[in-house]
Amino acid sequence: MSSELRGKLLEEPSFKIIEEIETPSLKGRLVNPGDTLKILEVTETKKETSPIELGNYGTKLYSLERDHCTVFNSNNNQPCGQDAFSVSPDLTIFSVCDGVGGAGDFNPAAVARWSRMIAESASSVGLQYFIKNQQAIVNRLKGVMTDEGYNIIPSIKGLYGIKTTLSMAQRTSGNAYEILCIGDSPIYIIDKNTGNIMQQYGEDALTKTTDTPLSNSVGLDSRGGYIAPKNPAHIIHKTITLNDDQFLVTATDYFSDFTAHGGNLLDYLNLSAEEFHKKVTGPGRVKADDATICFIENR
């Protein structure tokens, strides 16, 4: 048998376009030439400057510095922290997740894996696609978790499922950004010079409280089923304009508590990874929790 095959297609299949798809790295159409086969027909490829950036899995601290973007991640000396972040290769999509669950006979590593997969998926497909296809994405990742041997259904009924919050921003053009908050991981607009909070989004901002039970999250319930929004009004999805003298900040709820007590987010900007980790785990910490924060500025 030859390694090459030459010939002509005698009968071209009849393709049905299911939907248009655009990700940070490609643009194309999902087509269906039959009842079971689905093909992504690529119409445009985009140059990738680097792989998707993720906070280290199973380690206690990580930092990422890129033009117009700085991220710090500390997992509170836990063997497997449940915070995660992801930044798209073209530096236009920024996702921060805070895993929730792990009670009872759940392995906490499963929650850490889940938050990391959601962060990566959100930054891979983009905000609009993630919103429209959230249930399908969750179900696909459920299969990945099962294949990897994670327990997704606890033996004791009534325990938490595997889920995460999501704080996400996508630069759409110039100084315009689309933002999404699911749960209590906040998004801020702050003054670059003073750190003054110009705007805060997320459940904590809506309810004026911190550490309250989440009304929304992304993941699976205690039976392994998709979690539908409990309070859609608490899901923040909007377009904002960022001035050149402002930072857009995506974070986990460690920082909701910090700013609720008058803290200035700029205190966390010009630090090394080690300094950040010491600040959020040392004697002056706000609370014993993982902490992740991403500072974004206009290009």
- Residue 249 has a pLDDT of 97
The whole-number pLDDT of residue 150 equals 81
d(CA 20, CA 124): 15
C-alpha 29/C-alpha 40 separation (Å) is 6
Question: In the beta sheet, which residues pair with residue 164?
Answer: 99, 218
**Predicted pLDDT of residue 107:** 64
Angle between helical axes of 108-125 and 134-147 (0-180°, round to 10): 140
Q: Determine the Cα–Cα distance for residues 130 and 119; give it in Å rounded to an integer.
A: 11
Token readout for 235 is: 């899901």
Could you tell me which residues come within 8 angstroms of residue 292 by beta carbon, excluding any fewer than 6 positions away?
55, 71, 72, 73, 74, 83, 84, 85, 96, 98, 251, 252, 254
Are 74 and 277 in contact by the 8 Å Cβ rule? The answer is yes
Other beta carbons within 10 Å of 75: 27
Read off φ and ψ for residue 108, nearest 5 degrees.
-55, -25
Amino acid identity, position 128: Q
One pLDDT digit (tens) per residue for the chain, 299 residues = 434 444 444 444 444 555 555 554 445 555 544 444 444 444 544 443 344 455 444 334 456 777 788 888 877 655 456 888 888 888 899 999 998 865 555 567 788 888 888 998 998 899 999 999 999 999 999 998 888 888 777 666 555 678 899 999 999 988 999 999 999 999 999 999 999 999 999 988 887 777 777 889 999 887 888 988 888 989 999 999 999 999 999 999 999 999 988 999 999 998 887 888 888 888 888 888 888 999 999 98
Main-chain phi, psi angles of 90, to 5 degrees: -90, 10
pLDDT of amino acid 38: 47
- In order, the DSSP letters of 157-218 are TT---EEE-EEEEEEEETTEEEEEEESS--EEEEETTT--EEEEESHHHHHT-SSPPPS--E
pLDDT at 106: 55
Residue 113 has a pLDDT of 84
Report whether 117 contacts 152 (CB < 8 A).
Answer: no
Q: How far apart (Å, rounded) are the C-alpha atoms in residues 64 and 4?
A: 44
8 Å CB contact between 205 and 239: no
φ, ψ for residue 182, nearest 5 deg: -120, 110
Bridge partner residues of 22 (DSSP): 27
Rounded alpha-carbon distances, angstroms, from residue 120 to 17, 50, 125, 168, 174? 26, 14, 9, 11, 24
In total, the chain counts a number of residues equal to 299
pTM: 0.78
